[in-house]
A and B are shown apart, each in its own frame.
Chain A
Amino acid sequence: MWDFIWNDFLVTGEPIIYGAMASIVLATVGIVFVLTYFKLWKWLWDEYLTTVDHKKIGIMYIIAALAMLFRGGVDALMMRTQLALPNMNFLNSVHYNEIFTTHGTVMILFMAMPFIIGLMNVAVPLQIGARDVAFPFLNAFSFWTFFFGAMLFNISFVIGGSPSAGWTSYVPMAGPELSPEINQNYYLLGLQLSGIGTLATGINFLVTILRMRAPGMTLMKMPIFTWSALITSIIIIFAFPILTIALALMTLDRIFGTHFFTLAGEGMPMMWANLFWLWGHPEVYIVILPAFGVFSEVISTFARKQLFGYKAMVYAMCVIAGLSFIVWVHHFFTMGAGAGVNSLFSITTMLIAVPTGIKIFNWLGTMYKGRIRFNVPMLWALAFIPNFTIGGVTGVMLGMASADYQYHNTYFLIAHFHYVLIAGTLFGMFAGLTYWYPKMFGHKMNEKLGKISFWFTVIGFNITFLPQFFLGLMGMPRRTYTIEPEWMPLNLLSTAGAFVLAAGFVIFTFNIYYSARYEPREKTGDAWDGRSLEWATTTPVPHYNFATVPYVNSHEAYWDMKETGATTYDESKLEPIHMPSYKGLPIIMSAIMFIASFGLVWHWFWLAIPGLLGVIICMVIRSFDFDEGYHVPIEEIKRTEEQARGRKE
């Protein structure tokens, strides 16, 4: 028993892992102590763990995303340290492989995804004048399945060992024959669990946006970020089931001995690559389109101008979403599908440059004849344009299949997708977070620290990834744990850049703490002279969002309201507001799913089967839950609004 725990269950023999274990234990003890000492357990349970309020769920998503950004970032720094010099002996090949696998998986699925979903949660209901999302219970459930999925994936590095087959997990390498250890199961079940939440989020936001908009707000009068959330939701609904199926089939292969993707027994390893990228390519648009939405909002607000070519922006996003499903083969042009197939997918891939180009020029057009303020959210949005352009044009180069034979799986590719994912998604999320921060927390993030962290990040990012284009052309493949002497100077430069980039992130995080303590509190609800409805309500936002929902005439609803002097507090129209009750079931049910998945990871059916039954019992309990929520009385609305609007006394 002890032998099993020491040798198989826990990961032993690595000093770095011991350090990680110690820090996990210390952090847990610290959190438990603080919660107990300040008697915060009940507060935590009542206010956050059971919440169905989209604003709080959004905040929890973003906290989780920042924590995962830290984890993935530490992975990245360890990789860059190992690659700084030839013959480095910081990580051995096995450990290195685990780290790049977790880096990729964590950054895409547990950092980028919750970050965009968090911002969607915070902003979308407010932008469309809704009181909450369409299915608040499901929304809480989405968060908790994501959270427990991420936890399941993350505990692998101390319990059982991290997966090491890359975030793409290509079979047969990741299959039962070549990776018989349980590590890979963490990948399968962690993604499966969080994928359930993502799919539910997609459905939730589709319905929310289609059914719960303010009166007068037709589709073409929606704020552009809401448009991006709508299109993202649709992509999620079509793409995530593919991942669910692919993961399920590989789970069957690995745990129940089927032969869908296996080496022997007539499995089809190529099918995995196809299914993975049939999901994987739309996935990168899932994480980029909301960032595009944020940039549109931010650039328009800080250039003090209407968005240039609103309709073109919407159509461009629709076209991108459509194209995202017909380009997946470009991830494996080198599979030998033949000239005809590769030609087709080269052209569809390059065509994405057309709608993306339209968007870039429309953002530039938005600034034309504007009056640009350089606040921190705007700085992130501005840095996006030139950096993302470099990512975009190198994407077109990669899309030319015959040239791709030389770029494929090299650092050229690594540089390209970091230029689109960091300059696109991450800058977008930082822009969105600093932009909506006053709405979420009642104070801005400090501008000075924000600017310092911005410059560290942007400069560090370019020093890190620009040299990697050249490394790729020099023949350096991705996922190698060691470098050749002739690749040394550029790698050293890249590593130095990574530490500058990391400093930028540390300052960003410190700024959260600093701003909470020292930044002046927001008095109005309109921190940036905003244009859409989220700025129309007060800060802090009352839990019912809007006392009265205004009639919307354009995609800049609040701009119009400011011109006519309308508010979201029209005493003559007050009615009791119907709100959903907080529920403990989502977190309990997700925790049980976590236990069941953990059992499955270890092939412990004695744990997995009761866990599955527990999930079914939770579903039964939920179906007999006839709680219809409650109504906020008019007196309470009046009291809240008058206090927030400073009219009382």
Chain B
Amino acid sequence: MKNLVSWFKRLFMVPGLFALLLVASGCSGITVLDPKGPVARTQQELIIFSITLMSVIVIVVFVLFFYMIIRFRERPNWTDKDYDPHQHGNTTLEIIWTVIPFIIVAALSVPTVTSLYALEKPPEETNDQEPLVIHADTSNWKWYFSYPEQNIETVNYLHIPENRPVEFKLASADSMTALWIPALGGQKYNMAGMQNTLYLQADEEGEFAGRNANYNGSGFAEHTFTVTSESEEEFNQWVSDVQNNAPEMTKDRFDEYLEPGLAQEAEYSSTHLEYVDFGMNSGRSYITDLYSGNLGEQLHLEGGEGGPWEEE
């Protein structure tokens, strides 16, 4: 019996060690497990917890599996003292392996549900601060980040202040897309005619990769953006630079952007929100009215290059 207990202890230590190893060493290369903000950290903790629990199940199944196929294999000196062809079940055992999975599901459900509700709100740590509102709109295959309070807009790149929650208002002019910055947290869809809200936050300065994670056609691979997280002062400096030096986002300029294709990074001292809000039902026909017939254009991207716009 004592043997069994220590055996079980060892059984539980293996996945724990495995998880620790993941956290300690491998994670620097594995973006999702190396979080740079509270949202991604909540998710990373949940992932590590589930990996640990799941590893226990995997190990139990593997051990039993190899025990069965080795112990009960047909071999030359086989005797039938362990052979019981009429054994048809065992109610106690079957109840045990029904109840244990229920307990595991319950154990996973609790943190899942709590974190689901938590992620609907700005992170707890910084709830003394007003979130920075950014409208993140997409059209094939570009990102438009509008800062309504600052009245500026960027294309395909994003600046955020560190240690302050960001409230993304997500919408799309055409295909369904998803805003995903793996280092800062999970994704949410951008859809036409409705608005989704996603809270993210960066805890440190740095550059992070962001992308559209939902397939939307031939330019999908290049439908990316970069995120720069910087100190409050640097951010404010950047905002006033854009306000003072960048051109205005005129309606004509924005309409040009909506034609399918890729675009270079750019910034403007006004936002497209004055012309159209893709998060509203009324914004849904904006792009079809402009480009009916051209929206099916295909981009033949090759060899991982950024496509035609790189030559511009």
Contact = CB atoms under 8 A, between A and B. Distances in A.
A269 B94 CA distance: 45
B159 to A, nearest CB: 20
Interface stretch (B6-14, B127-135, B150-158, B297-305): B297-305
A497 B186 CA distance: 29
Contacts of A164: 217-218
B298 A369 contact: no
Interface stretch (B114-122, B227-235, B237-245, B263-271): B114-122
A402 B112 contact: yes
Contact of B176 (A269, A303, A403, A478): A269
A475 B109 contact: no
Interface stretch (A15-23, A170-178, A245-253, A592-600): A170-178
Interface residues of A, number: 96
B187 interface: yes
B304 A305 contact: no
A385 B43 contact: no
A281 B221 CA distance: 27
B29 A474 contact: yes
Interface in B257-312: 281, 284-285, 287-289, 292-293, 295-296, 298-305
A406 interface: yes
B38 interface: no
A497 B88 CA distance: 40
Contact size class for B?
35 or more
Given A93-B219, A304-B85, A386-B61, A403 B47 contact: yes
Contacts, number: 303
A78 to B, nearest CB: 15
A477 B211 contact: yes
Contacts of B89: 308-312, 362, 365
Interface in B67-99: 68-69, 72-74, 78, 80, 82-90, 93-94, 97-98
Contacts of B174: 172-173, 177-178, 263
Contacts of A382: 65, 69
Interface stretch (A351-359, A544-552, A620-628): A351-359
B32 A405 contact: no
A642 interface: no
B68 A178 contact: no
A306 B213 contact: no
Interface centre among B57, B68, B80, B94 (most CB of A within 10 A): B68
Interface string A461-495: 00000000010111101111111001000000000
A615 interface: no
Interface stretch (A29-37, A203-211, A286-294, A332-340): A332-340
A263 B284 CA distance: 6
Contacts of A74: none
B73 A372 contact: yes
B250 interface: no
Interface stretch (A82-90, A117-125, A213-221, A574-582): A82-90
A406 B117 CA distance: 16
B303 A87 contact: yes
B175 interface: yes
Interface string B185-217: 111110110001100000000000101011111
A347 B33 contact: no
A429 B166 CA distance: 50
A173 B175 contact: yes
B21 interface: no
B72 A474 contact: no
A92 B300 contact: yes
Interface stretch (A136-144, A389-397, A439-447): A389-397
B105 A306 contact: no
Interface in B141-171: 170
A270 B216 CA distance: 15
Contacts of A338: 120
A310 B119 CA distance: 43
Nearest to A398: B50
A179 B89 CA distance: 56
Nearest to A357: B101
A640 interface: no
B72 A303 contact: yes
Contacts of A393: 54, 57-58
A335 to B, nearest CB: 5
7 contacts: A97-B217, A173-B215, A304-B83, A347-B105, A364-B64, A371-B80, A393-B58
Closest 3 CB pairs of A and B: A405-B186, A482-B304, A89-B303
Interface of B: 29-33, 40, 42-43, 46-47, 50-51, 54, 57-58, 61-62, 64-65, 68-69, 72-74, 78, 80, 82-90, 93-94, 97-98, 100-102, 104-105, 108-109, 111-113, 115-117, 119-120, 140, 170, 174-176, 178, 180, 182, 185-189, 191-192, 196-197, 209, 211, 213-221, 281, 284-285, 287-289, 292-293, 295-296, 298-305
Given A358-B98, A400-B108, A475-B32, 16 more contacts: A94-B299, A178-B175, A178-B296, A309-B88, A339-B120, A343-B113, A360-B61, A382-B65, A386-B61, A390-B58, A403-B47, A406-B40, A406-B47, A406-B182, A406-B185, A482-B304
